[in-house]
Amino acid sequence: MTRLATRDALVVDDLRIGTLAGDEVLKGVSYDIAPGEVLALVGESGSGKTTAGLAALGHVRRGLRHVAGTVLARPRDGEAVDLLALAEADRRRFRGTTVSYVPQDPALSLNPALCIGVQIREVLDIHGYGDSDAERAERVAEVLGEVGLPGDDDYQRRYPHQLSGGQQQRVGIAMAFACRPRVVVLDEPTTGLDVMTQTLVLQTVAQLTTQHDVAALYITHDLAVVSTVADRVAVMYEGEIVERGTADEVLRTPSHPYTRRLVAAVPHLGTASTEPSSPDEPDEPDEDAALSVSRLSVSYGDKAVLQGVDLRVQPGECLMLLGESGSGKTTLSRCVAGLNEHYDGTVSLAGTPLPVSTRKRTSEQLRAVQYVFQSPFSSLNPRRTIAQSVEVPLETLTDLDRTARRERVAETLERVRLSATLADRLPDQLSGGERQRAAIARALVTTPDVLLCDEVTSALDVSVQASIIELLCSLREELGTAMLFVTHNIALARHVADHIAVLRDGLIVESGTVEEVLGDPQHPYTRDLLAHTPRMTT
């Protein structure tokens, strides 16, 4: 065992990780984190930040190998250890107690067959937390409360599918903090959360790290979040840390050209990348709307999820559907796509009512309405290459021959900035941002009339996010594609949308042009959303 020379909870020194073919993915990465401190590891998809984060847990992904360097973690009691030098059984003993992990996609970390209380309790049982069953039961309720969820028995008996995406993520955070670890690696933990829930999670992370002396490695592409939660920042580019310093130093006065590009690409509420819509432009129903939703209502038992929603989206227009997790926005978009047939009301395409289910829609109707899911794993077959997955809609919904299909696939992958070298890889061989771009390509490949975008930029770093937004805007302009953009990130409004509809508890509480809603919000809920939106403190 190796003793740390300082009080740092985690010290990574000259970490080098490469492919089996010999190419370096991490090129001598070094950093340290003190107890109670948050270090943000920032970079684009493919920069190596997730590989570095997993290495902090002593884990190296399939297809990679540890070449050199150390990852020293200090338990609360005892001497520091090099996690990469441990046997696998010993390494597992340290995970959860000394180091723990919050993944980007909570759906992949929760067991759908177990209620959430049992899953958190399993973490405590495995690591022998506490002296009794009663103490562990008390800790389950306590840690749920720490992340802003009810700790009562009824809530603990819920299954993951009964929770919103934001609630699932908070359960994942609760599991990571359950045993009060020394180090927590958080991999984009607020990616899929609305601004209200994001604020709560960030406050929770800050509170838990400070109160319990937890060292946090916060992996993210969201520089606005960095300015809110981080003490220090390390910027990664092509496997190297190219800039480091306090959050204030890096965000206010970035010295490296790459950091300056990242800061410049952050969307702001107060700036627009294109000319804003006129405040006097009417937001009224139109018989020629590309997409219209009339009196759409959905209930699960006694719970009303959507209550008489009306929407209109014109050809070439983008309507941003804004709301918290659980507001009903994803349910609405799934009804439009024909993925939820249990609704009352009408969904129409160019004035023609659509069958409620995809099974009853024609190939042309299916081609015309495409969906980009929040989680790319929902639309990418893990056993198909990226090129094969993108080609599937062309095979089933068009009459293009094989050569034409492959040409269209290659063109579409290029448009979403996905390298041709990745086309023959499987989804688990791509970064989170690369997988999301592949999912977007799959929806765009049929040149749809209506594109349903469900949090499509939430997993993307800021520069790729800007590229995707630019792509979607050009597609609307060139092809007249109508877009329903479902998001919790109101900062994107001026960059992507013409109109905004604010959804709360299944009701649209405010709608209007972007300038109307952002410039003079009328509903208290809209004002709360704006108040809780992270801003760059530059």
The two tokens of residue 142 are 């306590």
The boundaries of the domain holding residue 411 are 291-531
Q: Is residue 285 part of a domain?
A: no
Indicate if 203 and 308 belong to the same structural domain.
no
Q: Is residue 370 part of a domain?
A: yes
Indicate if 255 and 302 belong to the same structural domain.
no
Considering only residues 101 and 227, tell me which one the structure prediction assigns the higher pLDDT: 101
Where are the alpha helices (H) located in 70-115, listed in sequence order? 88-94
For the residues of 452-489, what is the DSSP string, one character each? EEESTTTTS-HHHHHHHHHHHHHHHHHH--EEEEEES-
At 515, the amino acid letter reads: E
Quick one: pLDDT at residue 3? Answer: 41
Q: What does the pLDDT look like over 467-492, one tens digit per residue?
A: 778 878 887 887 789 999 998 888 88
Contact 173, 165 (CB under 8 A): no
Q: Is residue 91 part of a domain?
A: yes
Spatial distance between the Cα atoms of 141 and 57, rounded to a whole number of angstroms:
26
Nearest to 94 by CA among 121, 126, 69, 119: 126
Lowest mean pLDDT of 128-142, 179-193, 435-449, name the range: 179-193
Considering only residues 471 and 137, tell me which one the structure prediction assigns the higher pLDDT: 137
Indicate if 367 and 484 belong to the same structural domain.
yes
Q: What does the pLDDT look like over 52-97, one tens digit per residue?
A: 999 999 999 888 999 999 999 988 777 889 999 999 888 888 888 8
Indicate if 428 and 521 belong to the same structural domain.
yes
For range 241-261, the mean pLDDT: 91
Q: Is residue 536 part of a domain?
A: no
Indicate if 394 and 473 belong to the same structural domain.
yes
Per-residue buried b or exposed e for 461-497, using 16+ beta carbons within 10 Å of the residue's own CB: bbbbbbbbbebbbebbeeeebbbbbbbbbbbbbbbbb
Indicate if 195 and 343 belong to the same structural domain.
no
Indicate if 184 and 49 belong to the same structural domain.
yes
- In terms of phi and psi (left: phi > 0; alpha: psi -120 to 50; beta: otherwise), the region of 122 is alpha
Considering only residues 211 and 512, tell me which one the structure prediction assigns the higher pLDDT: 512
* The pLDDT of residue 102 is above 50: yes
Our count of domains for the chain comes to 2
* The pLDDT of residue 146 is above 60: yes
Q: Is residue 510 part of a domain?
A: yes
* The pLDDT of residue 513 is above 90: yes
Of 264, 299, 317, the domain-final residue: 264
Indicate if 65 and 172 belong to the same structural domain.
yes
Contact 326, 298 (CB under 8 A): no
Nearest to 448 by CA among 409, 397, 498, 396: 397
Quick one: pLDDT at residue 290? Answer: 93
Indicate if 259 and 304 belong to the same structural domain.
no
Q: CA geometry: angle at 196 spanning 377 and 219, to 5°?
A: 50
Where are the alpha helices (H) located in 286-350, listed in sequence order? 329-337
pLDDT band at 192 (very low <50, low <70, confident <90, very high): low
Indicate if 324 and 218 belong to the same structural domain.
no
Indicate if 307 and 245 belong to the same structural domain.
no
Mean pLDDT, rounded, of the chain: 86
At 414, the amino acid letter reads: E
Q: Is residue 428 part of a domain?
A: yes
Contact 428, 386 (CB under 8 A): no
Q: Is residue 335 part of a domain?
A: yes
Indicate if 188 and 259 belong to the same structural domain.
yes
Q: Is residue 276 part of a domain?
A: no
Q: What does the pLDDT look like over 445-458, one tens digit per residue?
A: 998 999 999 888 87
CA atoms within 13 A on the CB side of 154: 1
**Which CATH number is 391's domain given?**
3.40.50.300
| Residue tagged 């227009």 (tokens) | 317
Lowest mean pLDDT of 204-218, 306-320, 347-361, name the range: 204-218
Quick one: pLDDT at residue 284? Answer: 41
Of 249, 264, 279, the domain-final residue: 264
Q: What does the pLDDT look like over 256-309, one tens digit per residue?
A: 988 888 888 777 665 443 333 333 333 643 467 999 999 999 998 888 999 999
